[in-house]
Structure 1
Amino acid sequence: MAGGKHSQLTLLTIGTVILLALVVLTLRLHRLTELPPGLHHDEGTHAVNALQVLQGEHAPFFPENNGREGMIVYAIALMTSFLGRTVLAVRLPTALISAGAVFVLFWLGWILFGRDEHSGRPTPWRGLLIGGTGAGLLAVSLGQTVIGRTALRGSFLPFFLSLSLALLWWAWSHDEQPSSSNDKPTGQSPADHSGQAARLRDYWRIALAGMCAGLLPYTYITARFTPFLFLLFGLSFLLPFVRNGDGKKSGEVSSPPLLFRLIASPSRTEWQKAGIFVLVAGLVAAPMLIHFALNPDHFFLRSSQTWVFDSERNLGNPLGTFLSNLWGYVLAFGFRGDLIWRHNLVGEPVLNLWQALFFWLGVGAAVWHWRTRPAYRLLIFWLALLILPAVLAREITSVPPNTIRMIGAIPAIYLLVAVGLWEAFLFARRRFSQLAEVRAGAAFASLVGLAILVQGAFTYRDYFHRWASAPEIHRYYGTGWTDLIKIANDQPADGSVAFLVPGYLWQYSFEYLYQGEAPVHLVHTAMPDFAHQIESAVKTSASLSQVKVVDWSNDVIWAGDEDQRLAVLFDKYGRYMGTEQYADFQIKNYAEISLDRPWTLYEFLDPLTVNYDGGIALMGLAAGQGIEQQSSQSPLNLKEGNPFWLALQWQTAPELGVDFAVSLRLHDAQGSNVFQRDYVLWKPDHSSTGAGGQTEPFDSLHLTEFPADLPFGDYELRIVVYDTESLKPTVELGVWEAETTIAHLHYTDSK
């Protein structure tokens, strides 16, 4: 009979592992080179740091782009050395570690619940069902599928934290568990080994657990809370009101000796184990600790930007903002989802309603038994401490929950769902079922397995169809950049063609993936002396015959007024050869590039002083068509068929706080408004006028094509400056009119 139970358990275990492998490998690895499309700029930053590592620039922490811990960088560097500079090399490490976390969680659940807390006897069915259910739910999680398939450093945290706890639990309880040939080998010492050999193996397991714990600071910022988990859980055994499995308080003699008695009444061996764990963890973490000691600003680099008690984020209401954050994460269990596309199918909660029901049941059971069941106590501490970093962080532009910030608590969350299911199963079995333990367990496991498979089918549909087809995904992951890379890679390598690409954040992805020979220059208006920098970029190739200027669609990648500035420059110093249209951008081609005189956006600025009551002033004007600049002191002679460019110089008051836009209006001789274009005013660093910062004068550039049916004749060019939020115009001081004439135009045909 015992042999039959053992064979059933073995078959079910093997089946569970095979099923987990099929599900998680499908959801994490299927079409990984295609989905997500492109590379998010955070992924690109990781990848560029990986190239630096391959070039010999090593560091435990990389401060670029708000800072990143080094584990993901080194993992991508390793994969790049094998697969080259590809999207797969960037994403495969996190996809594999996300899949591996499923199997580690299965083992951890078995380790934690595979032995009865009261008697010490094996409870393999409980371990299998809780471990298998928790791992299965993690495998089919939609949010973890999205995160696992994206190169986000947070994916490493659940794997190494779960592995460290599993090794620690296994090693510490190993020599206290009786051996049985029918038991699942979850920590039993073989009977034929000497006590000294068994103790040595335990020390090795403790050292491995310490190594995994020491690697946690290299994973993700929220891992900084994990030392509190290890410390508080260990200290909890010393509390006088904590009782062991047979009802005795900590420190009282009980039989059989179990894990919690060992810690509550530590012997020399237990102190040695604790010392080994702390020593190994400290040695492994030492490079990161030394880095932060030498660079304390790096330690607070990201947390200082999201601290919930910062007045800029809580708007003077720290307690209310904290409680609002906390409530947002409570709602993540069944009611509210992450609104960030790279974390989730927007709006889908971490747990659906049926999972949330059993989660709260599991939380209730764990709280009820926290004094007598160490595994339950561990899960409660784990949930509370690793969700706390998320609650303490707040973005001005988003609302909780943020799934990646709570990723350290994800294994505990799914194990608590499994605990709730187990407690419900025990209740139902006692009240309604007369089936034997094995038959009842097998029936329950089959039912839960079927539910997880159904959930997996929904996750497959939601990810590969609903999430993948959302238009926001292509913008979020910058698919235009991968399309541009393919085009640039096809260009000749003789230097006859060069690309100018406006961009600000996305250059990391391009820098990693582009391997062609054609010169590609990433430019933005924050570059000092913009026109001269563009001229210098064009001069880098002696055999240059064509320049391709990329003009992004604003709903894909917003590049401020860089496209306007580049168009003005190349209309002045090159010959327009036509435009190539693509899904996310267009490429304007220019030939006959003139390099015989210095490049400038304008040669001179006509003085013009218009002071507005809104705290902004118009200081000067430059205008022209093509290479010819004209003085606005006399009527501008503009010809049909050529764009008209206008440069305006502005000065804003300190701490303005208002975002302004301009409306350029063309009035005919009768005073009628016959043409109008509106533009938001952006500073060279892509900030609005109300963003604060620099108060020195800045230029805005506007390139305008008149409609084909505009009659020839004389016109007035007038300007209105208005608040983009209220649409209320600001008026000129002393004149008290919103509309100001800034130039006169004479519009004729092109002959």
Structure 2
Amino acid sequence: MNTHQKTNWFHWLILLAILAAAFAVRVWNIEGAPAGVYPDEAVNGIDAIKVNLGEQPFQWFYTDNNGREGLFMNLVALSFQIFGVSVLGLKIPSIIFGTLTVLGVFLVTKEIFRTPRAGLFAAYLVAFSFWSINFSRISFRAIMVPFLLTFSFYFLLRAIRTKSFWQFAVSGFIFGIGFHTYIAFRIAPAIIIIAFLGLLITKKHLFRNYWKQAVIFMVFMLISAAPMIWTFYAHPEFLESRSASISILSPEVNHGNLLQTFARSFGLSLAKYNFWGDQNWRHNYPPYPILNPIVGVSFLIGLIYLIAKFFHLLWLRIKHDVRDQKLFTYAFLLVWFFSMLAPEFLTAEGNPHALRSIGTLPVVFIIATIPILWILGKADTFSPSSKTFFFSFILALLIFAGTFDVVKYHYFWANNPAQYQSFESNLMLMANFIKDLPAEKDKVVIAENMQRIPIRLFNYQTPNIYYVYPGEIQSFLNEKELNNPIFIMTEKNDSVIEILKKNYPLSQLKGISTEKAMKFDTKFCIFK
């Protein structure tokens, strides 16, 4: 085996270790962190159960919860068939997509910089990122966006370099699948269009050399996107979403001052990476930025470097007709970042928002790799003793970057009371409590609409269970004859308890909890 082959094997072994570690930190203690299943996740699971029970067919678009592209729910349905209706069954698709995104980042970064070393650094940073770990452990369809972008762009960039027809086809097909994922992906074609303009001013005879390949890309993209395109054509109302009501373009939102609203939203969107992060406990560890200090500084330096070099090379192209391939590379990375940031800064609700900008996740870590590569390149001029010290220092920084977010997630975030409350962990306690009750016993869940969804998910086929709104309990009791019932409430409600006491004077109110739930104040009540 020659030296090149040994190096190749070494790189693949490191990548395999990174992928194994990435999977481990995403799947470990999945039942305990997050502490609950949020209603938005549970809706996905209920649609999946309905599919498996034959209550509805596989769909391209599910209309509940403001409407959702159907691919993720269909994969959850498949997961339930393998793992059963469980937390793992609900979340394993996210875990897999999150892990495979690490592989995708390696491949696309390796292709961009033409060195596996760059790919390994970027993959390592993604593998142990709080941002990526967190969304890989939540059953949200958005986690598919980084995965599809990285693999589509890997094959696209490779195809541009090699003029390979089949790679253009694969890239287009993967890209088209993106339209089946998350609303933020709908802006992704802007990356292709604007990057094409960058390629146009970089390569000579672009149309003559690539028009056939471009047609292949478009055809295969349309093939995979066709079911969703047809669905939206047949049901244009599905295109409407809550985004319209929170857009900065809406007069109700910008109050006649669009520029100021845009500047604030754009500033907050950028600030989340380094200064002030997403304040939602389901998305981040508030108030901290979504990147750890090492990665955050490296990303900021890399972004400034990219912008400066892009305009420098653009000036050389315009002024002196210099065609530098790096101009396309820099343009591509910048367009990717700012295009996928747009779903966040074009809305004015809840910013900074790490979920809406999830399409920037891969490119953020690719950009953060640029300063690392520059520093390592300079190290070639160091003396042997200086190299030893330098590489030891770099290794220490990488170890810090790799452990910081893992500890932050699995220890500090996972044990924070705010996380328990944000995920409404008492609903999981209720769901498990109800599952253990005798099948013949009447079980009445007194809860609001969103609160009952996680309970219903894990008790979908539980017999003799009723869901009642707090304000409707009296009319329910008047209409229904119950057999030795137990009433389960998400919280103590005095008016409901008074009604229950009048109807069941011998029953008592009890608080149900566990040691951990008492610590985090996430208990619930029963009346029996």
- Shared fold (TM-score, shorter chain, > 0.5): yes
Q: Letter of the aligned partner of 1:291 in structure 2?
A: T
2:397 corresponds in structure 1 to: 451
Contact 1:576 1:588 in 2 (8 A): no
2:354 corresponds in structure 1 to: 403
1:547 corresponds in structure 2 to: 485
Q: Letter of the aligned partner of 2:526 in structure 1?
A: I
1:392 corresponds in structure 2 to: 346
Once residues 122 and 219 of structure 2 are traced to their aligned partners in structure 1, the CA distance between those partners, rounded to angstroms, is 31
- The equivalences for 1:221-240 within 5 A come to 221-239=183-201
1:468 corresponds in structure 2 to: 414
CA displacement at 1:458 relative to structure 2: 1.9
Contact 1:222 1:386 in 2 (8 A): yes
Q: Letter of the aligned partner of 1:159 in structure 2?
A: F
Contact 1:490 1:516 in 2 (8 A): no
1:16 corresponds in structure 2 to: 14
Query: Quick check: 1:282 aligned with 2:225?
Result: no
- The equivalences for 1:317-356 within 5 A come to 317-356=257-296
405-414 or 62-71: bigger deviation: 62-71
Q: Letter of the aligned partner of 2:90 in structure 1?
A: V
Once residues 12 and 367 of structure 1 are traced to their aligned partners in structure 2, the CA distance between those partners, rounded to angstroms, is 34
Contact 1:334 1:349 in 2 (8 A): yes
CA displacement at 1:316 relative to structure 2: 4.1
Q: Pick from 370, 376, 388: which aligns with 1:425?
A: 376
Once residues 392 and 177 of structure 2 are traced to their aligned partners in structure 1, the CA distance between those partners, rounded to angstroms, is 37
Q: Pick from 467, 482, 502: which aligns with 2:447?
A: 502
* C-alpha spacing 1:136/1:519, structure 2 compared with 1 (3 Å): same
- Tell me, which stretches of 5 or more residues in structure 1 are unaligned? 115-126, 176-201, 243-249, 252-263, 555-562, 590-751
Deviations 1:304-339 (A, max 9, x none): 132123233334432212111111122123211111
1:156 corresponds in structure 2 to: 144
462-471 or 230-239: bigger deviation: 230-239
Q: Pick from 309, 316, 327: which aligns with 2:249?
A: 309
CA displacement at 1:163 relative to structure 2: 0.2
Larger relative helix fraction: 2
CA displacement at 1:14 relative to structure 2: 2.9
Query: Quick check: 1:79 aligned with 2:17?
Result: no
Q: Pick from 21, 25, 50: which aligns with 2:48?
A: 50
Q: Give 3-state SS (helix, strand or coil) of 2:273's partner.
A: coil
Contact 2:292 2:405 in 1 (8 A): no
- The equivalences for 1:586-601 within 5 A come to 586-589=525-528
Q: Give 3-state SS (helix, strand or coil) of 1:150's partner.
A: coil
CA displacement at 1:379 relative to structure 2: 0.6
Once residues 498 and 67 of structure 1 are traced to their aligned partners in structure 2, the CA distance between those partners, rounded to angstroms, is 30
* C-alpha spacing 1:417/1:307, structure 2 compared with 1 (3 Å): same
Q: Give 3-state SS (helix, strand or coil) of 1:419's partner.
A: helix
Query: Quick check: 1:40 aligned with 2:38?
Result: yes
The aligned length equals 503
Q: Pick from 409, 434, 459: which aligns with 1:488?
A: 434
Query: Quick check: 1:575 aligned with 2:524?
Result: no
Contact 2:446 2:470 in 1 (8 A): no
Q: Letter of the aligned partner of 2:507 in structure 1?
A: M
CA displacement at 1:76 relative to structure 2: 0.6
Contact 1:580 1:588 in 2 (8 A): yes
Once residues 143 and 85 of structure 2 are traced to their aligned partners in structure 1, the CA distance between those partners, rounded to angstroms, is 21
Once residues 462 and 296 of structure 2 are traced to their aligned partners in structure 1, the CA distance between those partners, rounded to angstroms, is 54
Q: Give 3-state SS (helix, strand or coil) of 1:88's partner.
A: helix
Deviations 1:670-728 (A, max 9, x none): xxxxxxxxxxxxxxxxxxxxxxxxxxxxxxxxxxxxxxxxxxxxxxxxxxxxxxxxxxx
Once residues 334 and 389 of structure 2 are traced to their aligned partners in structure 1, the CA distance between those partners, rounded to angstroms, is 29
15-24 or 466-475: bigger deviation: 15-24
* C-alpha spacing 1:435/1:165, structure 2 compared with 1 (3 Å): farther
1:212 corresponds in structure 2 to: 174
- Tell me, which stretches of 5 or more residues in structure 2 are unaligned? 314-323, 514-522
- The equivalences for 1:22-171 within 5 A come to 22-54=20-52, 55=54, 56-114=56-114, 127-171=115-159
Once residues 28 and 195 of structure 2 are traced to their aligned partners in structure 1, the CA distance between those partners, rounded to angstroms, is 39
Q: Pick from 301, 317, 336: which aligns with 1:382?
A: 336
Q: Give 3-state SS (helix, strand or coil) of 1:425's partner.
A: helix
Q: Give 3-state SS (helix, strand or coil) of 1:469's partner.
A: coil
Contact 1:45 1:65 in 2 (8 A): yes
CA displacement at 1:443 relative to structure 2: 8.9
Once residues 500 and 363 of structure 1 are traced to their aligned partners in structure 2, the CA distance between those partners, rounded to angstroms, is 52
Q: Give 3-state SS (helix, strand or coil) of 1:33's partner.
A: coil
Q: Letter of the aligned partner of 2:369 in structure 1?
A: A
Percent of residue pairs identical: 21
Once residues 57 and 306 of structure 1 are traced to their aligned partners in structure 2, the CA distance between those partners, rounded to angstroms, is 32
Contact 2:292 2:404 in 1 (8 A): no
Q: Letter of the aligned partner of 1:215 in structure 2?
A: I
Deviations 1:67-88 (A, max 9, x none): 2221211111110111111111
Q: Letter of the aligned partner of 2:525 in structure 1?
A: Q
- The equivalences for 1:226-265 within 5 A come to 226-239=188-201, 242=202, 250-251=203-204, 264-265=205-206
Q: Give 3-state SS (helix, strand or coil) of 1:401's partner.
A: coil
CA displacement at 1:19 relative to structure 2: 3.1
Deviations 1:348-405 (A, max 9, x none): 212233323322332233234434212222111101111111100121xx3x211111
Contact 1:488 1:518 in 2 (8 A): no
Once residues 567 and 410 of structure 1 are traced to their aligned partners in structure 2, the CA distance between those partners, rounded to angstroms, is 48
Q: Give 3-state SS (helix, strand or coil) of 2:355's partner.
A: helix
Once residues 221 and 206 of structure 2 are traced to their aligned partners in structure 1, the CA distance between those partners, rounded to angstroms, is 23
CA displacement at 1:445 relative to structure 2: 7.2
CA displacement at 1:91 relative to structure 2: 0.6
Contact 2:102 2:127 in 1 (8 A): yes
CA displacement at 1:574 relative to structure 2: 2.9
Larger relative strand fraction: 1
27-36 or 37-46: bigger deviation: 27-36
Deviations 1:83-140 (A, max 9, x none): 11111111110011001100110011111111xxxxxxxxxxxx22221111111111
Q: Letter of the aligned partner of 2:137 in structure 1?
A: R
Q: Pick from 231, 240, 243: which aligns with 1:291?
A: 231
Q: Give 3-state SS (helix, strand or coil) of 2:506's partner.
A: strand
CA displacement at 1:448 relative to structure 2: 4.4
Once residues 330 and 497 of structure 1 are traced to their aligned partners in structure 2, the CA distance between those partners, rounded to angstroms, is 52
CA displacement at 1:518 relative to structure 2: 4.3
Once residues 448 and 580 of structure 1 are traced to their aligned partners in structure 2, the CA distance between those partners, rounded to angstroms, is 57
Q: Which protein, 1 or 2, shows the higher relative CO under an 8 Å CA cutoff with sep ≥ 6?
A: 2
Contact 2:340 2:357 in 1 (8 A): yes
Contact 2:94 2:139 in 1 (8 A): yes
CA displacement at 1:152 relative to structure 2: 1.4
Q: Give 3-state SS (helix, strand or coil) of 1:403's partner.
A: coil
Once residues 77 and 376 of structure 1 are traced to their aligned partners in structure 2, the CA distance between those partners, rounded to angstroms, is 40
Contact 1:140 1:452 in 2 (8 A): no
Q: Letter of the aligned partner of 1:587 in structure 2?
A: I
2:518 corresponds in structure 1 to: none
307-316 or 386-395: bigger deviation: 307-316
Q: Which has the larger radius of gyration?
A: 1
Once residues 424 and 220 of structure 2 are traced to their aligned partners in structure 1, the CA distance between those partners, rounded to angstroms, is 42
Q: Give 3-state SS (helix, strand or coil) of 2:357's partner.
A: helix
Once residues 227 and 477 of structure 2 are traced to their aligned partners in structure 1, the CA distance between those partners, rounded to angstroms, is 42
Q: Give 3-state SS (helix, strand or coil) of 2:200's partner.
A: coil
CA displacement at 1:64 relative to structure 2: 1.5
Q: Letter of the aligned partner of 2:488 in structure 1?
A: V
Once residues 486 and 385 of structure 1 are traced to their aligned partners in structure 2, the CA distance between those partners, rounded to angstroms, is 43
Once residues 392 and 85 of structure 1 are traced to their aligned partners in structure 2, the CA distance between those partners, rounded to angstroms, is 37
CA displacement at 1:569 relative to structure 2: 3.2
1:479 corresponds in structure 2 to: 425
Q: Give 3-state SS (helix, strand or coil) of 2:335's partner.
A: helix
Once residues 445 and 272 of structure 2 are traced to their aligned partners in structure 1, the CA distance between those partners, rounded to angstroms, is 44
Once residues 333 and 516 of structure 1 are traced to their aligned partners in structure 2, the CA distance between those partners, rounded to angstroms, is 44
CA displacement at 1:7 relative to structure 2: 5.0
* C-alpha spacing 1:443/1:32, structure 2 compared with 1 (3 Å): farther
Q: TM-score, normalised by structure 1?
A: 0.63
CA displacement at 1:507 relative to structure 2: 2.2
1:614 corresponds in structure 2 to: none
* C-alpha spacing 1:7/1:71, structure 2 compared with 1 (3 Å): same
